[in-house]
Amino acid sequence: MFQNILIAYDGSEHASHAAQIAGDLGRQQTHAELWLVVVVEPIPKDLGEPYVDKLITKRTREGENLIRKAKDFIGKDISVNEVLLFA
């Protein structure tokens, strides 16, 4: 039925519930691919060194934490393709 399932996760209650549903759907399908997308705030272009590196590290950590939380809601026994974007 489903070949690709996309989850856009922002840490909200609704996104957490959607992640649970997506995980359940994915486990019911034989060849479904689950895609988890997390978007963090962009880095201002006029920000100079060393601040830009620190902010990139901070935002990357925030995104990785959201990915971990989403995967907890998705559950085990399913492969998840992770995408972290700076928008």
Structural domain containing residue 25 = 4-86
Mean pLDDT across 55-83: 96
Question: H-helix or E-strand containing 67?
Answer: helix 51-74
Task: Say what the pLDDT of residue 16 is.
Answer: 98
Query: Based on the structure, what is the number of domains in the chain?
Result: 1
CATH of the domain at 42: 3.40.50.620
Which pLDDT does position 47 carry in this prediction?
79
Q: What type of residue sits at position 27?
A: R
Give the pLDDT confidence score for residue 62 in this predicted structure: 97
| Residue-wise pLDDT tens digits, 3-57 | 999 999 999 999 999 999 999 999 998 888 999 999 999 888 887 888 888 999 9
